[in-house]
Amino acid sequence: MQSKLVVIILLCSVLVSINAAQVICASPDYFYPDNCDKELNASSASDYYSSHPALEYKELDHADITIREKTLYRDTFNIVDQELKGHKHLLWEYKKNKLENVSPKRQVYFYYSVTINKKNKYHTRKAIVDIETGNEIVVGESIDY
């Protein structure tokens, strides 16, 4: 009787371990899944912006920093790090809004423009457009005056 109990406990622990491993290894279900291996005939970010005047995102006039990139979603954070050095508030602001429904390996157009006044107050606009669907995943504006 005791040996049967030990066998049952061992079987249960193995099943729990297998189930836990499946949960840990399972990839998240993204609304915008990985498409980095998909060959998309996409234009450059500048060409796309110029040829889609109906986009909700509009660059700031006389922007001090303008970013237009065709990239993977995960790389937008590196681009922001490189382009906004010296503007820690902007880096923090962008990084705190990580999208949980977009795979890091999703192909996107990334647009970001910033004006900075003499008192180091910022006006920013950003957009992330899904290359495959053309959906504007994020469009936002922030004014720090």
CB 76 within 8 A of CB 46: no
> Has residue 39 got a pLDDT over 80?
yes
Is residue 12 domain-resident?
A: no
Q: Domain count for the chain, please give it.
A: 1
Rounded distance between C-alpha atoms, residue 42 and residue 70, angstroms: 9
**What residues make up the domain containing 66?**
45-144
Mean pLDDT of the chain: 84
Is residue 83 domain-resident?
A: yes
Per residue in 108-138, pLDDT (tens digit) is 999 999 998 888 789 999 999 999 999 999 9
Tell whether pTM > 0.85: no
End-to-end Cα separation, the chain, in angstroms: 75
Is residue 52 domain-resident?
A: yes
> Has residue 1 got a pLDDT over 80?
no
Could you tell me which of 61, 64, 80 has the C-alpha nearest to residue 128? Answer: 80
Rounded distance between C-alpha atoms, residue 78 and residue 99, angstroms: 15
Is residue 25 domain-resident?
A: no
Q: Looking at this protein, which amino acid is placed at residue 126?
A: K
Could you tell me which of 63, 60, 51, 69 has the C-alpha nearest to residue 111? Answer: 69
Is residue 36 domain-resident?
A: no
Is residue 31 domain-resident?
A: no
Is residue 81 domain-resident?
A: yes
